[in-house]
Amino acid sequence: HEHMRKMLDCGVKTLVMEVSSQALKMARVHGIKFKVAVFTNLSPDHIGEFEHPDFSDYKNCKRTLFTSYGADYVVYNADDEYALSVVGGTGCKKSGISVGNDADYRADSITYFRSPGNIGVSFECTNDGKTFPVALSFPGEFSVYNALTAIAVCKYLGLSEGKITKTMRHIRVKGRFETHELPSGATVVIDYAHNGVSLKAALSALRVYNPTRLVCLFGSIGGRTKMRRAELGLVASRDADFCILTSDNPDNESPSAIIGEIASYFSADSCPYIAIPDRREAILYALENSRKGDIILLAGKGHETYQIVCGKRQSFSETEIVEQFCSENKN
Protein backbone atom coordinates (compact mmCIF):
# COMPACT_ATOMS: atom_id res chain seq x y z
CA HIS A 1 0.00 0.00 0.00
CA GLU A 2 2.88 2.34 0.79
CA HIS A 3 4.43 1.77 -2.65
CA MET A 4 1.08 2.38 -4.33
CA ARG A 5 0.71 5.65 -2.44
CA LYS A 6 4.13 6.75 -3.70
CA MET A 7 3.21 5.79 -7.28
CA LEU A 8 -0.02 7.74 -7.06
CA ASP A 9 1.80 10.78 -5.70
CA CYS A 10 4.23 10.56 -8.64
CA GLY A 11 1.40 10.58 -11.18
CA VAL A 12 1.25 6.88 -12.06
CA LYS A 13 -2.16 6.14 -13.61
CA THR A 14 -2.02 2.38 -14.25
CA LEU A 15 -0.41 -0.41 -12.22
CA VAL A 16 -0.02 -4.02 -13.36
CA MET A 17 0.92 -6.36 -10.53
CA GLU A 18 1.05 -10.04 -9.66
CA VAL A 19 -1.03 -11.04 -6.65
CA SER A 20 0.19 -14.30 -5.14
CA SER A 21 -1.99 -16.79 -3.32
CA GLN A 22 0.00 -16.01 -0.17
CA ALA A 23 -0.78 -12.30 -0.56
CA LEU A 24 -4.47 -13.15 -0.76
CA LYS A 25 -4.30 -15.60 2.14
CA MET A 26 -2.57 -13.05 4.37
CA ALA A 27 -4.73 -10.10 3.19
CA ARG A 28 -1.72 -8.12 1.95
CA VAL A 29 -3.89 -6.48 -0.72
CA HIS A 30 -6.87 -5.88 1.57
CA GLY A 31 -8.79 -2.73 0.67
CA ILE A 32 -7.53 -2.54 -2.92
CA LYS A 33 -10.11 -2.56 -5.73
CA PHE A 34 -8.77 -4.09 -8.94
CA LYS A 35 -10.29 -2.82 -12.18
CA VAL A 36 -9.15 -5.95 -14.06
CA ALA A 37 -8.31 -9.40 -12.67
CA VAL A 38 -6.57 -12.14 -14.67
CA PHE A 39 -6.52 -15.93 -14.21
CA THR A 40 -3.65 -17.57 -16.12
CA ASN A 41 -3.52 -21.16 -14.84
CA LEU A 42 -3.56 -23.32 -11.74
CA SER A 43 -1.69 -26.48 -10.76
CA PRO A 44 -0.66 -28.14 -7.47
CA ASP A 45 2.16 -25.95 -6.15
CA HIS A 46 2.95 -23.80 -3.11
CA ILE A 47 1.66 -26.58 -0.88
CA GLY A 48 3.63 -27.22 2.27
CA GLU A 49 4.29 -26.29 5.87
CA PHE A 50 4.97 -22.62 5.15
CA GLU A 51 2.48 -22.08 2.30
CA HIS A 52 -0.90 -23.81 1.75
CA PRO A 53 -1.94 -26.98 3.63
CA ASP A 54 -3.56 -28.50 0.53
CA PHE A 55 -4.62 -27.79 -3.05
CA SER A 56 -8.15 -26.82 -2.04
CA ASP A 57 -6.84 -24.04 0.18
CA TYR A 58 -4.52 -22.88 -2.61
CA LYS A 59 -7.36 -22.76 -5.16
CA ASN A 60 -9.79 -21.05 -2.79
CA CYS A 61 -7.23 -18.35 -1.98
CA LYS A 62 -6.75 -17.75 -5.72
CA ARG A 63 -10.50 -17.48 -6.18
CA THR A 64 -10.82 -14.60 -3.70
CA LEU A 65 -9.06 -12.31 -6.20
CA PHE A 66 -12.13 -12.65 -8.43
CA THR A 67 -14.81 -12.62 -5.72
CA SER A 68 -13.61 -10.13 -3.11
CA TYR A 69 -11.76 -7.28 -4.83
CA GLY A 70 -14.43 -5.67 -6.98
CA ALA A 71 -13.01 -6.34 -10.46
CA ASP A 72 -15.00 -4.84 -13.33
CA TYR A 73 -13.48 -7.21 -15.89
CA VAL A 74 -11.95 -10.70 -15.73
CA VAL A 75 -9.73 -12.39 -18.30
CA TYR A 76 -9.30 -16.15 -17.87
CA ASN A 77 -7.56 -19.05 -19.57
CA ALA A 78 -10.48 -21.05 -20.98
CA ASP A 79 -8.16 -24.01 -21.65
CA ASP A 80 -7.33 -24.48 -17.96
CA GLU A 81 -9.39 -27.17 -16.24
CA TYR A 82 -9.83 -25.09 -13.08
CA ALA A 83 -10.77 -21.82 -14.76
CA LEU A 84 -14.52 -21.87 -14.23
CA SER A 85 -14.24 -23.09 -10.64
CA VAL A 86 -11.96 -20.12 -9.92
CA VAL A 87 -13.67 -17.29 -11.83
CA GLY A 88 -17.21 -18.65 -12.13
CA GLY A 89 -20.06 -17.07 -10.21
CA THR A 90 -18.74 -13.53 -10.44
CA GLY A 91 -21.09 -11.01 -12.02
CA CYS A 92 -18.57 -8.88 -13.91
CA LYS A 93 -17.76 -8.95 -17.63
CA LYS A 94 -15.46 -11.84 -18.60
CA SER A 95 -13.36 -12.80 -21.62
CA GLY A 96 -11.87 -16.24 -22.18
CA ILE A 97 -8.65 -16.88 -24.09
CA SER A 98 -7.69 -20.08 -25.89
CA VAL A 99 -5.19 -21.62 -28.26
CA GLY A 100 -7.16 -23.26 -31.06
CA ASN A 101 -10.53 -23.51 -29.29
CA ASP A 102 -13.58 -21.25 -29.36
CA ALA A 103 -13.09 -18.30 -27.01
CA ASP A 104 -13.37 -14.52 -26.97
CA TYR A 105 -9.68 -14.32 -27.93
CA ARG A 106 -8.33 -17.28 -29.93
CA ALA A 107 -4.85 -17.99 -31.28
CA ASP A 108 -4.25 -20.05 -34.44
CA SER A 109 -1.45 -20.62 -36.99
CA ILE A 110 1.33 -20.65 -34.39
CA THR A 111 4.84 -20.44 -35.90
CA TYR A 112 8.14 -20.72 -34.01
CA PHE A 113 11.26 -18.86 -35.19
CA ARG A 114 14.90 -18.61 -34.05
CA SER A 115 17.64 -16.15 -35.03
CA PRO A 116 20.92 -15.14 -33.31
CA GLY A 117 20.00 -13.82 -29.86
CA ASN A 118 16.28 -14.21 -30.45
CA ILE A 119 13.81 -17.05 -29.90
CA GLY A 120 10.22 -16.18 -30.71
CA VAL A 121 6.74 -17.15 -31.82
CA SER A 122 4.07 -15.64 -34.07
CA PHE A 123 0.35 -16.38 -34.39
CA GLU A 124 -3.00 -15.13 -35.66
CA CYS A 125 -5.35 -13.66 -33.03
CA THR A 126 -9.11 -13.67 -33.60
CA ASN A 127 -11.50 -11.48 -31.59
CA ASP A 128 -15.02 -10.37 -32.47
CA GLY A 129 -14.70 -11.91 -35.94
CA LYS A 130 -11.53 -9.99 -36.78
CA THR A 131 -8.11 -11.66 -37.21
CA PHE A 132 -4.74 -9.91 -36.91
CA PRO A 133 -1.08 -11.09 -36.73
CA VAL A 134 1.01 -11.02 -33.54
CA ALA A 135 4.78 -11.63 -33.21
CA LEU A 136 6.67 -12.05 -29.92
CA SER A 137 10.32 -12.21 -28.85
CA PHE A 138 9.40 -14.99 -26.43
CA PRO A 139 9.25 -18.72 -27.19
CA GLY A 140 6.60 -21.32 -26.64
CA GLU A 141 2.88 -21.82 -26.54
CA PHE A 142 2.64 -20.40 -23.03
CA SER A 143 3.90 -17.08 -24.42
CA VAL A 144 0.92 -17.14 -26.77
CA TYR A 145 -1.39 -17.52 -23.76
CA ASN A 146 0.35 -14.60 -22.03
CA ALA A 147 0.03 -12.46 -25.15
CA LEU A 148 -3.66 -13.26 -25.57
CA THR A 149 -4.22 -12.23 -21.96
CA ALA A 150 -2.36 -8.95 -22.46
CA ILE A 151 -4.26 -8.24 -25.68
CA ALA A 152 -7.61 -8.77 -23.94
CA VAL A 153 -6.66 -6.48 -21.04
CA CYS A 154 -5.22 -3.77 -23.30
CA LYS A 155 -8.27 -3.74 -25.57
CA TYR A 156 -10.54 -3.42 -22.53
CA LEU A 157 -8.45 -0.43 -21.42
CA GLY A 158 -8.94 1.21 -24.81
CA LEU A 159 -5.71 0.50 -26.71
CA SER A 160 -5.92 -0.19 -30.45
CA GLU A 161 -4.93 -3.50 -32.03
CA GLY A 162 -2.27 -1.72 -34.06
CA LYS A 163 -0.62 -0.18 -31.02
CA ILE A 164 -0.80 -3.45 -29.09
CA THR A 165 0.78 -5.59 -31.81
CA LYS A 166 3.47 -3.02 -32.64
CA THR A 167 4.53 -2.83 -28.99
CA MET A 168 4.47 -6.61 -28.48
CA ARG A 169 7.12 -7.14 -31.15
CA HIS A 170 9.65 -5.33 -28.97
CA ILE A 171 8.73 -6.44 -25.45
CA ARG A 172 11.46 -8.15 -23.45
CA VAL A 173 11.22 -8.88 -19.74
CA LYS A 174 14.38 -9.23 -17.67
CA GLY A 175 14.71 -12.76 -16.36
CA ARG A 176 11.76 -14.10 -18.33
CA PHE A 177 13.13 -16.02 -21.31
CA GLU A 178 15.93 -13.49 -21.48
CA THR A 179 18.17 -14.62 -24.37
CA HIS A 180 21.90 -14.21 -24.97
CA GLU A 181 23.92 -15.46 -27.94
CA LEU A 182 27.27 -17.03 -26.99
CA PRO A 183 30.46 -16.83 -29.08
CA SER A 184 30.12 -20.61 -29.59
CA GLY A 185 26.81 -20.15 -31.42
CA ALA A 186 24.77 -21.48 -28.51
CA THR A 187 21.86 -19.57 -27.00
CA VAL A 188 21.50 -18.96 -23.26
CA VAL A 189 18.01 -18.48 -21.84
CA ILE A 190 17.61 -17.03 -18.34
CA ASP A 191 14.20 -17.78 -16.86
CA TYR A 192 12.44 -17.88 -13.51
CA ALA A 193 11.04 -21.41 -14.03
CA HIS A 194 11.31 -22.71 -10.47
CA ASN A 195 8.80 -25.54 -10.13
CA GLY A 196 7.86 -28.65 -12.07
CA VAL A 197 5.07 -27.07 -14.09
CA SER A 198 7.02 -23.99 -15.18
CA LEU A 199 10.20 -25.98 -15.88
CA LYS A 200 8.30 -28.46 -18.05
CA ALA A 201 6.67 -25.59 -19.94
CA ALA A 202 10.06 -23.93 -20.46
CA LEU A 203 11.80 -27.08 -21.69
CA SER A 204 8.87 -27.99 -23.95
CA ALA A 205 8.86 -24.47 -25.38
CA LEU A 206 12.58 -24.62 -26.16
CA ARG A 207 12.51 -28.16 -27.56
CA VAL A 208 10.48 -27.09 -30.61
CA TYR A 209 13.46 -24.99 -31.78
CA ASN A 210 15.44 -28.23 -32.39
CA PRO A 211 18.60 -27.38 -30.40
CA THR A 212 21.78 -29.40 -30.83
CA ARG A 213 21.42 -30.07 -27.11
CA LEU A 214 18.90 -28.77 -24.62
CA VAL A 215 20.91 -28.15 -21.46
CA CYS A 216 19.15 -27.38 -18.17
CA LEU A 217 20.92 -25.78 -15.20
CA PHE A 218 18.80 -25.61 -12.04
CA GLY A 219 18.53 -26.19 -8.31
CA SER A 220 15.77 -25.81 -5.73
CA ILE A 221 15.15 -23.30 -2.97
CA GLY A 222 15.90 -24.20 0.63
CA GLY A 223 13.37 -24.15 3.44
CA ARG A 224 10.34 -24.76 1.21
CA THR A 225 8.26 -27.71 0.06
CA LYS A 226 10.41 -30.70 -0.82
CA MET A 227 7.76 -31.94 -3.27
CA ARG A 228 9.10 -29.28 -5.65
CA ARG A 229 12.50 -31.00 -5.74
CA ALA A 230 10.92 -34.23 -6.90
CA GLU A 231 8.97 -32.42 -9.62
CA LEU A 232 12.04 -30.53 -10.84
CA GLY A 233 14.21 -33.65 -10.89
CA LEU A 234 11.65 -35.77 -12.72
CA VAL A 235 10.87 -33.11 -15.33
CA ALA A 236 14.47 -32.15 -16.09
CA SER A 237 15.70 -35.75 -16.18
CA ARG A 238 13.10 -36.59 -18.84
CA ASP A 239 12.91 -33.42 -20.90
CA ALA A 240 16.51 -32.13 -21.11
CA ASP A 241 19.48 -33.65 -22.94
CA PHE A 242 21.96 -32.75 -20.20
CA CYS A 243 21.48 -31.29 -16.72
CA ILE A 244 23.70 -29.28 -14.42
CA LEU A 245 22.46 -29.54 -10.83
CA THR A 246 23.44 -26.58 -8.69
CA SER A 247 22.24 -24.18 -5.99
CA ASP A 248 19.20 -21.93 -6.23
CA ASN A 249 18.62 -20.06 -2.97
CA PRO A 250 19.72 -22.78 -0.52
CA ASP A 251 19.26 -20.44 2.46
CA ASN A 252 20.17 -22.41 5.60
CA GLU A 253 20.06 -25.84 3.96
CA SER A 254 23.10 -27.62 2.58
CA PRO A 255 23.34 -27.04 -1.20
CA SER A 256 24.83 -30.51 -1.64
CA ALA A 257 21.96 -32.09 0.29
CA ILE A 258 19.37 -30.34 -1.89
CA ILE A 259 21.23 -31.40 -5.03
CA GLY A 260 21.43 -34.97 -3.74
CA GLU A 261 17.69 -35.01 -3.19
CA ILE A 262 17.04 -33.76 -6.73
CA ALA A 263 19.54 -36.26 -8.15
CA SER A 264 17.71 -39.14 -6.46
CA TYR A 265 14.93 -38.67 -9.02
CA PHE A 266 17.30 -39.30 -11.94
CA SER A 267 17.44 -42.92 -13.11
CA ALA A 268 19.47 -45.03 -15.52
CA ASP A 269 17.09 -43.96 -18.29
CA SER A 270 17.42 -40.26 -17.48
CA CYS A 271 19.62 -37.77 -19.27
CA PRO A 272 23.20 -37.44 -17.96
CA TYR A 273 23.95 -34.79 -15.35
CA ILE A 274 26.76 -33.18 -13.40
CA ALA A 275 26.53 -31.62 -9.93
CA ILE A 276 28.30 -28.30 -9.29
CA PRO A 277 27.03 -26.73 -6.03
CA ASP A 278 28.48 -23.25 -6.68
CA ARG A 279 26.02 -21.65 -9.12
CA ARG A 280 28.55 -19.25 -10.66
CA GLU A 281 30.94 -22.13 -11.35
CA ALA A 282 28.06 -24.17 -12.74
CA ILE A 283 27.06 -21.39 -15.14
CA LEU A 284 30.64 -20.92 -16.33
CA TYR A 285 30.91 -24.69 -16.89
CA ALA A 286 27.78 -24.56 -19.05
CA LEU A 287 29.06 -21.60 -21.08
CA GLU A 288 32.58 -22.97 -21.55
CA ASN A 289 31.29 -26.35 -22.73
CA SER A 290 28.55 -25.03 -25.02
CA ARG A 291 28.25 -26.16 -28.64
CA LYS A 292 26.89 -24.42 -31.69
CA GLY A 293 23.11 -24.75 -31.77
CA ASP A 294 22.76 -25.60 -28.07
CA ILE A 295 20.08 -23.95 -25.98
CA ILE A 296 21.16 -23.58 -22.35
CA LEU A 297 18.36 -22.88 -19.88
CA LEU A 298 19.43 -21.22 -16.62
CA ALA A 299 16.30 -21.95 -14.59
CA GLY A 300 15.03 -20.72 -11.25
CA LYS A 301 16.62 -17.31 -10.65
CA GLY A 302 15.34 -15.23 -13.54
CA HIS A 303 15.16 -11.55 -12.61
CA GLU A 304 16.72 -12.01 -9.17
CA THR A 305 20.00 -10.20 -8.56
CA TYR A 306 20.87 -12.02 -5.36
CA GLN A 307 21.37 -15.48 -3.90
CA ILE A 308 20.43 -16.48 -0.36
CA VAL A 309 23.17 -18.62 1.20
CA CYS A 310 23.48 -19.46 4.91
CA GLY A 311 20.60 -17.12 5.62
CA LYS A 312 22.32 -14.13 4.02
CA ARG A 313 21.49 -12.36 0.76
CA GLN A 314 24.49 -12.07 -1.57
CA SER A 315 24.79 -10.12 -4.81
CA PHE A 316 24.34 -12.48 -7.77
CA SER A 317 23.27 -11.70 -11.34
CA GLU A 318 23.11 -14.36 -14.04
CA THR A 319 22.80 -11.67 -16.69
CA GLU A 320 26.08 -10.11 -15.57
CA ILE A 321 27.84 -13.48 -15.51
CA VAL A 322 26.73 -14.31 -19.06
CA GLU A 323 27.48 -10.83 -20.42
CA GLN A 324 30.95 -10.82 -18.86
CA PHE A 325 31.68 -14.25 -20.33
CA CYS A 326 30.60 -13.10 -23.79
CA SER A 327 32.71 -9.95 -23.51
CA GLU A 328 35.81 -11.90 -22.48
CA ASN A 329 35.38 -14.59 -25.14
CA LYS A 330 34.59 -12.60 -28.28
CA ASN A 331 35.97 -14.20 -31.42
Q: Is the pLDDT of residue 216 over 70?
A: yes
Q: What is the DSSP letter of 150?
A: H
Global pTM reads: 0.77
The predicted-structure confidence for 167-176, as pLDDT tens digits, reads as follows: 998 888 889 9
- Fold type of domain 178-328: Protein-Tyrosine Phosphatase; Chain A (3.90.190)
Give the E-state strand segments of 60-129 in sequence order: 73-77, 93-99, 105-115, 118-127
Q: Is the pLDDT of residue 44 over 70?
A: no
Side-chain half-sphere of 210: how many Cα atoms within 13 Å? 4
The predicted-structure confidence for 153-200, as pLDDT tens digits, reads as follows: 999 999 999 999 999 988 888 899 999 999 999 999 999 999 998 999
Rounded to 5 degrees, φ, ψ at 206 are: -80, -30
Distance (Å) of CA 34 to CA 7, 48, 71, 122, 198: 16, 29, 5, 30, 26
Domain boundaries, the chain: 1-91, 97-172, 178-328
Q: Is the pLDDT of residue 46 over 60?
A: no
33 contacts 73 by C-beta, under 8 angstroms: no
For the segment 241-268, the average pLDDT, to the nearest whole number, is 94
